[in-house]
Structure 1
Amino acid sequence: MSQAELISPLRFIARLPSNLPRLPRMLLGLYYTGIRNREKALSLGWALERAARLYPQRPAVIDEQRRLGYAEFNAWSNRLAHALKAEGVSHGSVVAVMLENRIEVLAALGALAKLGAIAALVNTTQRGKVLSHSLNLVKARHFVVGEELCEAFEEVRCELEDARHCYWVADGDSLADPAEAPPGWRNLMRLALGQPESNPVETGRVRLKDACFYIYTSGTTGLPKASILSHGKWIKAYGGFGHSGLSLTERDVFYLTLPCYHNNAVTVSWASVLAGGAAIALRRKFSASNFWKDVAHYQATCFGYIGELCRYLLNQTPCPEEQGNSLTCMIGNGLRPSIWTEFKERFGIERVMEFYASSEGNIGFTNVFNFDNTVGFSPATFAMVRYDLENDCPLRDHRGFLEEVATGEPGLLISEISPKWPFDGYTDPAKSEAVILRDVFKKGDAWFNTGDLMRSIGCKHAQFVDRLGDTFRWKGENVSTTEVENALGAFPGVEDAVVYGVEIPGTNGRCGMAALRLANGAQLDREALAAHLDRELPAYAAPLFVRLLEEVETTGTFKYKKTDLKKQAYDPEAVRAPLFARLPGDQGFRPLDGEIYQAIQRGEYRF
């Protein structure tokens, strides 16, 4: 790494004058991120009510057909809160929420936050046993489900522990005509008719330490885990991203295409909007071809991204709408250094608010000072420590303590757990303990293990390097290798399945590749395998490459040895075994030869 990439004190000081106009908002943000008293009554519901008080007539939420002001939107959330309270939802109740991106999902989440209830944000692509597992995991007793997802819910309803309280939300303008719900459901919007529009008294009792959302994250266990996102973490985002970072105002419009079950949407994006009374414009699903038309239609000034989304936009043929567009800033994570400058210059983006955070973790970085190719600055106490990749563990010195790496050198990012930077963890205490490192630099201390390799680049700024462990990221989603291995193991003829992530040039993250050992005499039905994966897994989790193995190497603890497999990837020159690829648009896997491999390397296929 060259010195030019490091952020020296002089470079840092030189950047400060351009941020002086934002200084009051930045200081306000530091106040919210620095609150230590977790008993303090601050919450998402409080933030919504504050915005409604300060900006009552300004637009709060917008979609293709509707535009609601803050006072109107807050009143709607209040009616829903009173209706849900009458249905038995109270402080600490777990309510599963399954809706695609539309105004109703934000209204429902606002209502639940006001009551101090916990919204379990169900991934709308989950189906079958993964969906039933997610719903039972958090012991949800109330379910708010959009008409567009009722069929998926009904498929697993009989597997749920208690599914008596199910609320249907019509697809479309649910307020226009609260129709009769299907049998076994109650229309939530009809229940809210006639309810008080006043702010519930419960909102004033919701504290920073209380859980706001359960957000599902894939881990190495195979099935989703539910991480706890407290109101305290949401308020830190409100301060760090909303005030100190973007500093949006009531004149801004935030264009959101990321799904609302993602932390990036409901915490990072929505908190940034509420902090300044900006409007949030929702699109049901991301569309690269319609992106700039929407930006022009809404006159959006900011948008939320993941790295893959940015790559899709760069791959689009230039269109008239992108010229002189209204966007000035963007916030998200995963924007690769290889396209950072090109993206900013082509689309005229002034500020890239790249950040680093996780739903379960206790640390976040934000590119507050608008440097290039960095996840930004963190006020938290963190360190990058030496990591043994071969044995998959942090290195300890002769005293038993961890060792920090030098500035600019990759290391495992860890963050200290303290009253100011608490660790909320997962719903399963054992899984929470598994990611805590103890006796790190002194006896008795505790640090959160992020599982990510980072490098410090000076002035409390960092660059992301890579992820560790058995989870890789593709299409903006974390993919659990164990979950994919289990799905492959259920396919007829497969004796062993080893799954790992491999890189495709010109894409972000790693796509899935599987090494399979077949039963004696079994033949691989490539089209049937593809169909099986389509049924059992979300599209982003299905492997795109397959190789066959005669034997599978394991460690002494029976873990698959993946290092050599990852290195060989899908290169026919390195893989001396049958090798297959599923190219874009293919219904099955085709043999992968040198010609196809070189075409993939040249970027001739758009994965």
Structure 2
Amino acid sequence: MAVLGVLVAAVAGLLLVLLVLPAATARLAPFLWQDLAFFATMVGSGLRCRRRLGRRPPVTLLDVFRQHARERPRQPLLRFQDAIYTFEDMERASNRAAWALWRRLGLRGGLTVAVFLPNEPAYVWTWLALAKLGCAMACLNVNVRGRALLPQVPTCPGAHPRLPQVSRVPAELREAVEEVLPDLQRDGVRVFYLSSASPTPGVEALLGDIEAAPDEPPPAWHRAGVTGDSRAMYIYTSGTTGLPKAAVITELKLLMVASLGRICGLRPDDVVYTTLPLYHSAGLLVGVGGCLDVGATCVLRSKFSASQFWSDCRRYNVTVIQYVGELMRYLCNTPQRPDDREHGVRMALGNGMRAEVWKEFLRRFGPVAVCEFYGATEGNAGFINYTGKVGSIGRANWFLKRDEPVRDKRGLCIRVPPGETGLLVVKITRNTPFHGYAGDSQKTEKKILRDVLAKGDVYFNSGDLLMMDSERFMYFQDRVGDTFRWKGENVATTEVEATLALVSFIQEVNVYGVAVPGCEGRCGMAAMCLKAGAAFDGDKLYAFTRETLPSYAAPRFVRIQLTGTFKQCKTNLVREGFDPGAIRDRLFFRDDARRSYVPLTPQIFAAIQDMKLSL
């Protein structure tokens, strides 16, 4: 409390000085008032979260949701298609699911349950049900198939080997589960469908038990051991160092990320529209979690549709939209309509929007307040653009000061001056902890930098290159390492190369990202040399990549090179792209309709260039 008192006194003194010298303040520090207001908001949010979790028993995000359910039971929490789910509806649905999971499976606090679901209300009440039992939820990416899915399910951290784990899947994901079911059963993983009956031998149905369960809350002792440091969930992040890893989300981090919406101005009367996948933190923690925090309504859509986006906003009276950069570009690429500005959206909350798209979005769709933020699921800090500076991810606030050191040739660190690009690292402290990746100490260690500015200090390595201008605005520049971003996911090329090297006819392979008109990020391409006497088999390669790689990581283009000086500079490969008119090597295109890699003809290339062929 003494520290807090000193802080309040210091801020009060600063305010007095600023009131006396307003002209000098505006000239010397034009963003000082905004910096100070944001600093106060951040301090207040952090204190609120820590104060809640410091109570006995602690008040978690689940408890905040349940308080809204008691005080405003008829307030809509979720809207999905034509259905409305109030806070009370979701409270009762999650109670029934918790009872069923406890009675049928013996779930108890400390276990982890894997959830394999698309965007639908069941995702939310399953999350709440598991939280009521003191169980952590592992959010599996629904785009992952075959062998790429296996490492995520059996090793969900914290699961007792003698007790079941649950992978709940709707009918449309049945094929994906059946592909790996024998392996799951061999590892002792029980799988359940959210249905009244199961069409798959060896998979049990759970819906009947849920519907028959009582709707009063399960016993409070299930959560008796929960603290701010307890693991609430695991989100598989597609980072720069390989295949998806289970990032640890504690109860404190869950509460703090959910408060991002409140920090940006989210209100209880807002209607938030999200088409982002719930297996990632933006959709689940910022979108749904933000609504749980303030008591707002979330409109959930199973998948993004550019043609239906604004119609949905009008239909549901949406006031806040969530985005990633690709989504905004798709909206700006749609044909202009007379009703482009006929909507009630006041704020857009998201990340990854480039300056040119930002400007076009505002021109097309009106004066929407864009709240761009930067952060990583596993990261220990981030930025928020609270001034509305187009293209910026936020400011290096004078009050919330951060260091961005980079290594020099001697292994020491220097701070990057304004205007230069540097690696963003954030000091790991008690207030900015890094919990790492569950069950993988080696990958956790790779994200840590030691002895950065002083002997013994420890920093989180974001893997991102940022630039700060003379006004301290921050701009995302690129990712370090051999990675590119596609469909909102990070693709580690070394991992894709290692996977493709297992194909019988491939001798060597280079994987990289190429620019595609109308698309955000880079599209995957593989340049490969074949083994002596071997022939390229497009059907076989398609089947292999579908089984072993997530859909976003499977290369869309293939280039067959005849010589193998092979590991030529990827910069040249990236620059040459995939134009069959300019490249003599044979080129192939991943055709999902034919389930094969087919020759990349001038006609296919033209359709991609004219944005008539969707990737």
- Of 357, 366, 371 in structure 2, the residue corresponding to residue 339 of structure 1 is 357
Tell me how far apart the structure 1 counterparts of residues 52 and 607 of structure 2 sit (CA, whole Å). Answer: 55
For the pair 1:147 / 2:139, whether they are aligned, the reply is no
Instruction: From 37, 41, 51, give the equivalent of 2:68.
Output: 51
Write the deviation string for residues 17-42 of structure 1: whole angstroms up to 9, x where unpaired: xx98x999766424346779889824
Does residue 1:197 correspond to 2:200, yes or no? no
> Structure 1 regions of 5+ residues with no counterpart?
1-6, 171-178, 387-394, 555-559
Amino acid at match of 1:414: V
State the shift of 1:374 in Å: 1.4
Q: Specify the alignment match of 1:176 in structure 2.
A: none
Describe the superposition over 1:169-196 as per-residue Cα deviations: whole angstroms up to 9, x where unpaired: 13xxxxxxxx345554141452363425
**Aligned equivalent of 2:451, options 424, 439, 448:** 439
1:69-218 superposed matches below 5 A = 69-86=86-103, 87-138=105-156, 141-148=164-171, 149-160=173-184, 162-163=187-188, 165-170=190-195, 179-181=196-198, 184-188=203-207, 190-191=209-210, 193-198=212-217, 200-201=219-220, 202-203=222-223, 205-218=225-238
SS in 2 for 1:455: strand
Q: Is residue 2:81 matched to residue 1:64?
A: yes
- Work out the CA distance in 1 between the residues paired with 2:460 and 2:382: 12
Which residue does 1:402 correspond to in 2? Answer: 413
Q: Distance in 1 between matches of 2:218 and 2:605?
A: 60
Distance (whole Å) between structure 1 residues aligned to residue 394 and residue 608 of structure 2: 33
**Aligned-partner Cα distance in 1 for 2:347–2:82:** 25
One-letter identity of the residue aligned with 2:508:
D
- Counterparts of 1:316-465 in structure 2 under 5 Å? 316-319=334-337, 322-377=340-395, 382-386=402-406, 395-396=407-408, 398=410, 400-427=411-438, 428-457=440-469, 461-465=473-477
Residue of structure 2 equivalent to 1:476: 488
CA distances 1:384-425 after superposition (whole Å, capped 9, x unpaired): 334xxxxxxxx2364x42111112311111000000000011
Aligned to 1:537: 549
SS at match of 1:159: helix
TM-score by structure 1 length? 0.85
Give 1:413's aligned amino acid.
L
1:275-354 to structure 2, matched below 5 A, reads 275-319=293-337, 322-354=340-372
1:433 & 1:561 partners in 2: Cα distance? Answer: 29
Shift of 1:110: 1.1
What is the rounded CA distance, in whole Å, between the counterparts of 1:193 and 1:137 in structure 2? 31
- 5+ residue gaps, structure 2, are 1-25
Instruction: Kindly state the Cα deviation for residue 237 of structure 1 after the two structures are TM-superposed.
Output: 1.2
Equivalence for 2:570: 562
2:599 to 590, 594, 597: 590
Q: Is the 8 A contact 1:417 1:447 kept in 2?
A: yes
8 A Cα contact 2:306 2:334, kept in partner = yes
Q: 1:464 to 1:32 in 2, by over 3 A?
A: farther
Question: 1:121 touches 1:216 (CA, 8 Å); kept in 2?
Answer: yes
How far did 1:203 drift? 4.4
- Residue 476 of structure 1 deviates from its aligned partner by 0.8
| Cα 1:370–1:88 shift into 2, 3 Å | farther
Percent of matched pairs sharing the same residue: 36
Residues of 2 paired with 1:168 and 1:576: CA distance?
A: 50
Q: Do the aligned partners of residues 33 and 454 (structure 1) sit closer, same or farther apart at CA in structure 2, a change above 3 Å counting?
A: farther
Q: CA separation in 1, counterparts of 2:580 and 2:193?
A: 52
SS at match of 1:540: coil
Tell me if the contact between 2:508 and 2:566 (Cα under 8 Å) persists in the aligned partners: no
Shift of 1:348: 2.0
Relative distance call for 1:204 and 1:407 in structure 2 (3 A) is farther
Q: Distance in 2 between matches of 1:519 and 1:220?
A: 29
Q: TM-score, normalised by structure 2?
A: 0.84
Q: Which residue of structure 1 lines up, in the alignment, with residue 255 of structure 2?
A: 235
Q: Distance in 1 between matches of 2:579 and 2:522?
A: 15
- Structure 1 residues 335, 220: closer, same or farther in 2, change over 3 A? closer
Determine the C-alpha separation between the residues in 2 that align with 1:384 and 1:530: 42
- Asked if 1:500 corresponds to 2:512, the answer is yes
Matched, 1:225 2:240: no
- Deviation of 1:438 (Å): 0.1
Confirm or deny: 8 A CA contact 1:381 1:416 kept in the other structure: no
Counterpart CA distance in 2 for 1:151 and 1:580 is 27
Residue of structure 2 equivalent to 1:4:
none
**CA RMSD after TM alignment:** 3.3
Q: Per-residue deviation at 1:460?
A: 6.1
Displacement of 1:288: 1.6
- How many residues were matched structurally? 573
